[in-house]
Amino acid sequence: MMLDKTNLKEEYSNLYDDASTEEEAIRRFADMVSVLRRTCPWDMEQTHESLRRGLIEESYEVIEAINRKNDENLKEELGDVLLQIVFHADLAKEEKKFDLTDVVNYTCEKMINRHPHVFSTGTAKTVDKVLEKWENIKSEEHGNITHTERLKDVPKSLPALIRSEKVQKRAADVGFDWDTIEPAIDKVREELEEFCEARRDNDRESMIDEFGDLLFSVVNVSRFAKIDSEEALNLATEKFIKRFSMLEDAAKESGRDLKDMTLDEMDALWNEIKSKRAYY
């Protein structure tokens, strides 16, 4: 049913002024989403499914704000993620499945249960012990009986590098792992050779299969080296963009356009840039 906008300010007076407490702010936010769901044509049409991409994009924008150390932007982007959460809760409330209160209470109970060293008699003196207890309790909550089920429990919707690292860590929990990084590095060499062999055979299906194995083995090396593979790849991409920008600037200084240069010419200039700008 459409909301009578003539009575909107009277019914939802809390929407028009800044809240002074966290409780009032959350109430204002929830009421605002509820009004949007009943009055805005776009908001009225949304579903859990239609909002999936938005939640992913907003989450990555939070990460971008953190990486840029931009507090003002971080405040904005966290609000956008919060909007997604409250919106999904409001949809579920309309479907009489759960509401925002249920979401918050469920999460509070989950956090209390997963921190027995804080809220109960358990102890955990190191970060590793905290994480170990966390994973064990989480596994019990999800009813995972077998080790394979724990691997399957890692969400498929995660970025591929992050998901593969999580799967590897859970396999390592039961001892399915090398003792040192050297065999992991050897595995990268082995998978690269198998990919090259598939390429020589012009076997497209095997190339895809072996390339996946190669990436998986590289992530395993990053795990042993305690390197965030997702972050490392992003840094490499940023480094490439910086060098490419310098390449284009150098070409312009010589009165040339990149598209008019040969690959050998661009490669020579690229190597010159690398030698002069080692920090890039």
pLDDT tens digit string along 92-102?
999 999 999 99
Token pair 């759960």: residue = 98
What was the pLDDT predicted at 6?
62
What was the pLDDT predicted at 279?
47
What was the pLDDT predicted at 180?
96
**Distance between CA atoms of 82 and 104, rounded to whole angstroms?**
12
What was the pLDDT predicted at 216?
97
User: 3-state secondary structure string, the chain?
Assistant: CCCCHHHHHHHCHHHHCCCCCHHHHHHHHHHHHHHHHHHCHHHHHCCCCCCHHHHHHHHHHHHHHHHCCCHHHHHHHHHHHHHHHHHHHHHHHHCCCCCHHHHHHHHHHHHHHHCHHHHCCCCCCCHHHHHHHHHHHHHHHHCCCCHHHHHHCCCCCCCHHHHHHHHHHHHHCCCCCCCCCHHHHHHHHHHHHHHHHHHHCCCHHHHHHHHHHHHHHHHHHHHHCCCCHHHHHHHHHHHHHHHHHHHHHHHHHCCCCHHHCCHHHHHHHHHHHHHHCCCC
Rounded to an integer, the average pLDDT of 4-22 is 76
Return all residues near 239 (Cβ < 8 A) that are at least 6 apart. 280
On the question of pLDDT at 142 being above 80, the answer is no
Domain boundaries, the chain: 5-98, 231-276
Angle at CA of residue 161, ends 157 and 167, nearest 5°: 75
Q: Exposed, middle or buried, 190 (CB in 10 Å: 0-12/13-18/19+)?
A: middle
pLDDT band at 48 (very low <50, low <70, confident <90, very high): very high
Contact 137, 120 (CB under 8 A): no
What was the pLDDT predicted at 38?
87
Q: Among 27-31, 121-125, 269-273, which is the least confidently predicted range? A: 121-125
**Distance between CA atoms of 6 and 15, rounded to whole angstroms?**
15
Token pair 């993620």: residue = 81
Rounded to an integer, the average pLDDT of 218-245 is 94
pLDDT tens digit string along 157-182?
889 999 999 999 999 989 999 999 99
On the question of pLDDT at 1 being above 50, the answer is no
Task: Out of 214-228, 246-260, 266-280, give the one with best mean pLDDT.
Answer: 214-228
The pTM of the full predicted model, rounded to 2 decimals, is 0.67
On the question of pLDDT at 143 being above 70, the answer is no
What was the pLDDT predicted at 89?
96
Q: What are phi and psi of 118, to 5 degrees?
A: -110, -45
On the question of pLDDT at 258 being above 50, the answer is yes
Both tokens of 207, joined, read 């190339």
CB atoms within 10 A of CB 34: 19
**Distance between CA atoms of 27 and 19, rounded to whole angstroms?**
9
Rounded to an integer, the average pLDDT of 237-260 is 92
What was the pLDDT predicted at 147?
87
Fold of 5-98: Helix Hairpins (1.10.287)
On the question of pLDDT at 210 being above 90, the answer is yes
